[in-house]
Chains A and B, each alone.
Chain A
Amino acid sequence: GAGVSQSPRYKVAKRGQDVALRCDPISGHVSLFWYQQALGQGPEFLTYFQNEAQLDKSGLPSDRFFAERPEGSVSTLKIQRTQQEDSAVYLCASSPSTRRGNEQFFGPGTRLTVL
């Protein structure tokens, strides 16, 4: 079956532009996570959804970052007024369970470059 997909795979934005990154989780997966991975580092948690409910957004770096999952499936991560420090790979992961601590399946990521 299809895995987690993300689009676009690459995005170049000028500083100050708004961007929207899309994640299509594995069908039926209840939990969805967004991570930010800077070059040479491990993924860092941004936010977590269970169905359409955003249960944890403690990792969002500023109020310029916003995520939604209105129908409990596809999710969008929006970054407003992008800054150079936002340049990173944004990874989405989904999990079939609401149980604490369960395998997450990662998408290929969106590489964002802010000029």
Chain B
Amino acid sequence: GENVEQHPSTLSVQEGDSAVIKCTYSDSASNYFPWYKQELGKRPQLIIDIRSNVGEKKDQRIAVTLNKTAKHFSLHITETQPEDSAVYFCAATESKSTFGDGTTLTVKP
């Protein structure tokens, strides 16, 4: 089955800096790669996603890149703000989603 590894597990940055979270996957059949933000006690919220026929996608301060050959994808957050602090999960999806173990991002004001 699919295996997703996510790094780092924790990330602390100063407000205004950039944050990068990386994920690798194993199943070449995966074709959809969402990123979720989960605040404490809340449901996962989709923040950006990318499909396997696209290499990069950007939405304001958030961007995702996908290297299908190497089976890795990354989340980039620029100009971080304290409200970006949360746990971020990547997932690789064919019919069902396999999630990484999460990255706890702390943005210090």
Contacts and interface: CB of A to CB of B under 8 A. Distances in A.
A48 to B, nearest CB: 5
Instruction: Tell me the interface secondary structure of chain B in the complex.
Output: strand
Nearest to B104: A40
B34 A103 contact: yes
Contact of B30 (A45, A59, A101, A102): A101
A44 B99 contact: yes
Contacts of B91: 42
**Which bucket holds chain A's interface residue count?**
20 to 34
Interface string A38-55: 001111110010000001
6 smallest beta-carbon distances between A and B, as pairs: A101-B32, A42-B99, A106-B43, A101-B93, A101-B31, A45-B96
Interface of A: 33, 35, 40-45, 48, 55-56, 58-59, 91, 100-109
